[in-house]
Amino acid sequence: MTKEIDLKKILVIALSFIAFTTTGAANEIDKRRVLSINEMQRDHVLTEMRALLSGTQNILDALLREDMVAVARYARPLGMGMTHKAEDHLKAVLPKEFMQLGMSVHKDFDQIAIDAESLKDPKHTLRQLNESMKKCNACHAGYQIRVEKPSTQSGTHPSHDHHLH
C-alpha cells in the first residue's frame, strides 16, 4: 500500500505542477517566440499535443495501478510512430529547435514503452515521464502559436490569435 500511496502523491504533485506552470498572471508580458502558422498546421500541432497529454494521463493512471503492460500500450502510440508525413509541411514553417524538441519527446515515449515492458519499474517510468514533461514545459514556456491571416481574405474578418497554454 505504501508504494501506491507514494505514486498517488507523486501524481498529485505532478498534476499540480502542470497546472501551476501553464497558468500565468494576466498582466504578464508574453515573451515566448511566436510561431506563425496557418489554421491547418495549428490544428495538427494542437491535436498532437492533446494526444500526448491524454496519453501521459493514461500512463500515469496505469502507473498508479502498477500495470506496466498498460503503460507500454499507452506509451507506444505516442512514440515515433505518431509522427507521419504531416510533419513534412511543418518542417518548412516551424523552427528546427521546436521540431527537434517534439521528436525527442516522441523518442522518449518509445523508450518508456520499451522500458516498461523490460524493466517493469514504475519509478523508472516516472523518472522518464518527468524528463519528458520538462521538454513539454520548455516548449510551452518558449513558444506560442499565432494563426496567420490567409492572404485570400479581404481583411473584413478579424484574425484570432491562438496560443499554447
CATH of the domain at 10: 1.20.120
Average pLDDT, the chain: 85
Contact 79, 109 (CB under 8 A): yes
Q: What does each C-alpha distance from 96 to 91, 92, 102, 143 come to in angstroms? A: 7, 9, 10, 13
Cα–Cα–Cα angle for 4, 5, 10, nearest 5°? 100
Q: Compare 2 and 135 and report the one with higher pLDDT.
A: 135
Distance CA 56, CA 149 (A): 33
Q: What is the pLDDT of residues 69-93, one digit of tens each?
A: 999 999 999 999 998 766 778 888 9
Residues 93-97, mean pLDDT to the nearest whole number: 94
pTM of the model: 0.77
User: How many domains does the chain contain in total?
Assistant: 1
Is the residue at 153 inside a domain? no
What is the DSSP-derived secondary structure letter of residue 149? P
Residue 162 lies in a domain: no
Q: Find the domain containing 45 and state its range.
A: 2-16+40-147
Best mean pLDDT range from 6-15, 92-101, 145-154:
92-101
CA distance 16 to 34: 27
Q: What is the pLDDT of residues 33-54, one digit of tens each?
A: 999 999 999 999 999 999 999 9
